[in-house]
Amino acid sequence: MTAKTLSVAAALAGAISVAGMALSLPAYADNEKCYGVAKAGENDCANEAGSHSCAGQSTVDYDGGEWQLVPAGSCEEMGGSLEPFEGVNPTPPA
């Protein structure tokens, strides 16, 4: 038995005993908040999307204008990420 197989075996044995003491799956359920990623029920066409298409036909049509849009959202709240586009993107890509 080489030293390497021995150390892997020892680590595995150690991990098993640690996990055995605290096999704590339920603990994870309230360890960290999870943003709902639920997409179930998205297969509708009657809510926001429907009203959008009826009420906002002119705004839906971005055409050429969309390419000049500059990202503006929460990045501005996150100090570091503001810098790459401070002010307004002066040269919007064609």
- 77 is a contact residue toward another protein (CB under 8 A): yes
- 3 is a contact residue toward another protein (CB under 8 A): no
- 20 is a contact residue toward another protein (CB under 8 A): yes
- The residues in 31-60 that bind another protein, with binding defined as CB under 8 A, are 31-35, 37-40, 42-45, 47-50, 52-54, 56-57, 60
**Residue 10 Cβ, how far from another protein at the closest point, in Å?**
7
Q: Considering only CA atoms, which of 91, 49, 51 is closest in space to residue 70?
A: 91
* C-alpha count within 13 angstroms, C-beta hemisphere, residue 11: 6
Residue 57 in 3-state DSSP? helix
CA 62 to chain centre: 26
Report which residue type is found at 82: L
- 87 is a contact residue toward another protein (CB under 8 A): no
- 84 is a contact residue toward another protein (CB under 8 A): yes
**Residue 76 Cβ, how far from another protein at the closest point, in Å?**
9
Q: Considering only CA atoms, which of 60, 68, 62, 56 is closest in space to residue 92?
A: 68
- 29 is a contact residue toward another protein (CB under 8 A): yes
